[in-house]
Amino acid sequence: MEQTIQELYDQVLERKENPVEGSYTAYLYDKGLDKILKKVGEESTEVIVGAKNSQAELTYETADLFFHLMVLLVDQGISLADIQAELGSRVGQKSKLHERSDWR
Ligand SMILES: N=c1c2ncn([C@@H]3O[C@H](COP(=O)(O)OP(=O)(O)OP(=O)(O)O)[C@@H](O)[C@H]3O)c2ncn1[C@@H]1O[C@H](COP(=O)(O)O)[C@@H](O)[C@H]1O
């Protein structure tokens, strides 16, 4: 079974709007922003470690990070459309890489 990022976002949003007993997502919202940020930080570090170890570990840890990022975005009232719009605004932007002195 597969789950799109949008489906994950929608489920996480549903947990925010209708907290369910025993839900880890609802627990994170209950704990608040600092807890969510702590988890995003931890999962980011685990992605870095995972990338050094194996593709399987990187995949697993990236899924964990995506989940916690979705929780953060929902908590802060940011939609996936907001992120897509930001990414879209960058399409075709000239890379500034050539302006960097350390570029070779
Ligand atoms: N995708 C996820 C998902 N990925 C990771 N996790 C949870 O994230 C936690 C990360 O593990 P850690 O060991 O870092 O954290 P922990 O020690 O359990 O918790 P802390 O004490 O650190 O807070 C685990 O409890 C995982 O179960 C997730 N929990 C839920 N989802 C999805 O979120 C939706 C809502 O699920 P519920 O939260 O169960 O309602 C569903 O679609 C789920 O599939």
ipTM value? 0.91
Using a 6 Å cutoff on CB, does residue 44 contact ligand 1? no
What residues contact residue 64 under an 8 Å CB cut-off, 6+ apart? 43, 46, 47
Mutation test residue for ligand 1: of 67, 71, 74, 75, the one with most atoms within 8 Å of CB: 67
> How far is ligand 1, taken at its centre, from the CA of residue 25, in Å?
6
DSSP state of 18: S
> How far is ligand 1, taken at its centre, from the CA of residue 24, in Å?
5
Show the DSSP H helices in 23-90 as ranges: 24-31, 33-53, 55-75, 80-90
Q: How many residues does the chain have?
A: 104
Per-residue pLDDT in tens (0 to 9) along the chain, 104 residues: 999 999 999 999 999 999 999 999 999 999 999 999 999 999 999 999 999 999 999 999 999 999 999 999 999 999 999 999 999 999 988 777 677 777 66
Domain ranges of the chain: 5-80
Using an 8 Å Cβ cutoff, are 79 and 70 in contact?
no
For the domain made up of 5-80, give the CATH fold.
Helix Hairpins (1.10.287)
